[in-house]
Chain A
Amino acid sequence: MVDGWLDYTLRTVALGAALLGGMSGALGAFVFLRRQSMAGDAIAHATLPGVVLAFLLTGQREPQLLLLGAALAGSAGVLLWMAITRWSRVKQDSALGIVLSTFLGGGVLLLNLVQNRPGAYQAGLNHFLFGQAATLLSRDVAILAAGALGVGLLLLLFWKEFQLLSFDRPFGASLGWPMQRLDIGFTLLVVAVIVLGLQSVGVVLMSALLVAPAAAARQWVDGLGAMVLLAAALGAVAGVSGTLLSALWAGLATGPLIVLCASILVLVSLLWAPRRGIVWRQLDRLAAQARLR
């Protein structure tokens, strides 16, 4: 009986991690190509005050409610970031750092307030920072599945718009597409995916799940469609293998293991991907030198 229960939990968690890795991999391909890799990190950090405020205001711990709070705070962070870059001389990277640290600071402040109260919110900062994949229930997996479906559908529907947005924004604007609105819409979609991932991998590591599968996939393929599919697949692989490793060494946090698996995929891709890989390029160089001699 116990074994069966464990298997069921493990299956649930693995499925959740696969769905999360898949959707963040697919969306992350565009984030990576748009050079917004660090924006994911900032957005993830910016969600904390939203989670705590949602709890403070309603006194409930409904995951959906907390996710909504996270999404609102993440969106506010994104818009503040865009506003700072647009209407001041502060550069993108500094603006990201400001948004990230201010929101997270505010979140920590609020969280501490909550924790100091009687009947406190005991989930704690640790869960939010590093996620708690092991606590995924089938209801959470259903939400993740709906999210993955939604992301897939939106990418299909707005494929050519997102393609223009990532490759040649001025050309898209010259065709009459509302590029600014597409940009905001896309970034809000990123916010949504990050929020969905918080429960499993947490704030600190969610950005890695967006960027790492994309960076690995880019080395192997040359087409956008292929890259998005491969990134989704690699993200799912990282999710599942991280979950399994965590089950193997009971007690090791799932989030960091997922990120480590994704990072290993990146490392292998950077070294060994045909043509682009560092190893192959070095071999080519050696061969060329040999020919010259």
Chain B
Amino acid sequence: MGASLEIQLIAVAAAVACALVGVFLVLRRMALMADAISHTVLLGIVLSFFVVQDLHSPWLLLGAALMGVATVALVEALQRSGLVAEDAAIALVFPALFSLAVLLIGLYARNVHLDADVVLMGELALAPFERVLLFGLDLPQSLVTLTGILLLNLLAIGLFYKELKLSTFDPVLAATLGIAPALLHYGLMALVAVTAVGAFDSVGAVLVVALIVTPPAAAHLLTDDLQRMLLLSAGIGAGSALSGYWLARWLDSNIAGSMALMAGVWFCVVWAAAPERGLLALLRRQARQRWQVAERVLALHLRSAEEEGAPNLVDRLPERLRWEPKFARQVLRRAEANGLVQYQAGGLVLTERGRQQAGYSSSRITGSS
């Protein structure tokens, strides 16, 4: 395998692993917990390094994951105290722990290769240099780690899919059905922490946030179905990873940053063009609705004018409906073109269709409540 292919494989494995757990974080409105965890795992790594004195020990991964879970527990305890709101709890906990980690590195681990900015940004380009022999294959260490984490995530989500789904959409019902929401919650958080640690070892903390939050948010604009959202999220994550890799290669720049940027770009593309929830669809729908509503309002008013035996309403229409005269003229033209109204002997009357529309409108409204 060439280095280029290896880096792409590592990037895709990291992206898919993050995008899968990210779906649940985004749906549970805990996206920023990913930000917090990806920062505080540094403290976990530093503390476990002090214990084992080896930067390559697998215990570091465990320590980091534990710190991730501890972060969540601390944030939630602070929130439960009622003294600060949830957002403030996150914003208080992670900078404190992160500062502590930076200071500890500065005090005791300065000569160790543990740089805070490497931790944040990662150096994916260097990942193929650390290698490990597995089943007789000479593979990059991070590819093995990340593939393992990806499989772990797939396994966990596959095994507990029903429970995760239920506790995400209806935690109360989940609890009454005997699913322990707290256990599931912390299990999920542990998974997020392990994923964050595994990923940020090679790609950096920022990228972890980008890959955990952005692809699921984009996927959520495309579907309501959880299974499809998981698939789309993984796909968008992989797409961000690959496009980011090639952008970075083309520009000869940092791969992790480029992947985060591309995730954002893909989100914006999806946001603009999503068939139902995209910006363009929204604008089109709003424009259409504006005329439809206006025509119905017009029909209704003509009908009530008929019932009241009121004289021709056209002249008073702008004033009565608070419409601009120009807008009122446009509405009239459209209503005429759609066969809702017609001019008879200089006066505006409702056609049979228009009367139906007005009647339909009001009956539908009464029924809709």
Q: A88-B277, A97-B32, A97-B34 are in contact. Are A102 and B99 (CB under 8 A)?
A: no
**Distance in angstroms between the alpha carbons of A263 and B263 in the assembled complex:** 33
Q: B87-103 vs A: 1/0 string, CB under 8 Å?
A: 11011100110111011
Q: Which residues of A contact B260 (CB under 8 A)?
A: 101-102, 104-106, 108
Q: Which residues of B contact A212 (CB under 8 A)?
A: 92, 95-96
Partner of B261, one of A97, A106, A111: A106
Across the interface, do A112 and B254 meet the contact criterion of CB distance under 8 Å? yes
Q: In whole Å, how far is A59's beta carbon from the nearest beta carbon of chain B? A: 18
Across the interface, do A35 and B29 meet the contact criterion of CB distance under 8 Å? no
Chief secondary structure at chain B's binding surface: helix
Across the interface, do B279 and A205 meet the contact criterion of CB distance under 8 Å? no
**Distance in angstroms between the alpha carbons of A93 and B32 in the assembled complex:** 6
Q: A129-B120, A205-B99, A252-B106 are in contact. Are A98 and B213 (CB under 8 A)?
A: yes
Partner of B103, one of A116, A126, A208, A260: A260
Partner of B264, one of A41, A45, A96, A98: A98
Q: Does B303 sit within 8 A of A, measured CB to CB?
A: no
Give B101's nearest chain A residue, CB to CB. Answer: A256
Q: Does B341 sit within 8 A of A, measured CB to CB?
A: no
**Distance in angstroms between the alpha carbons of A214 and B87 in the assembled complex:** 13
**Distance in angstroms between the alpha carbons of A90 and B25 in the assembled complex:** 13
Q: Does B1 sit within 8 A of A, measured CB to CB?
A: no
| Residue of B31, B78, B251, B267 with most chain A CB atoms under a 10 A cut-off | B31
Give B120's nearest chain A residue, CB to CB. Answer: A129
Q: Does B57 sit within 8 A of A, measured CB to CB?
A: no
Partner of B83, one of A100, A129, A205, A270: A270
Across the interface, do B103 and A252 meet the contact criterion of CB distance under 8 Å? yes
Q: A68-105 vs B: 1/0 string, CB under 8 Å?
A: 00000000000000001001111101111111111111
Q: Does B243 sit within 8 A of A, measured CB to CB?
A: no
B-side interface size class: 35 or more
**Distance in angstroms between the alpha carbons of A108 and B247 in the assembled complex:** 13
Q: Which residues of A contact B262 (CB under 8 A)?
A: 105
14 more A-B residue pairs beyond the given contacts A38-B87, A207-B91, A251-B106, with a C-beta to C-beta distance below 8 A: A35-B88, A88-B221, A88-B271, A89-B221, A91-B31, A97-B34, A104-B260, A105-B206, A126-B115, A130-B102, A211-B91, A256-B103, A256-B106, A266-B92
Taking Cβ atoms with an 8 Å cutoff, the residues of B that contact A are 26, 29-32, 34-35, 39, 78, 81, 83-85, 87-88, 90-92, 95-96, 98-100, 102-103, 106-107, 115-117, 120-121, 206-207, 209-210, 212-214, 216-217, 220-221, 247-248, 251-254, 256-265, 267, 271, 277, 279, 282
Taking Cβ atoms with an 8 Å cutoff, the residues of A that contact B are 32, 35-38, 40-41, 45, 84, 87-91, 93-113, 116, 124-126, 129-130, 204-205, 207-208, 210-212, 214-215, 218-219, 249, 251-253, 255-257, 259-260, 263, 266, 270, 276, 278
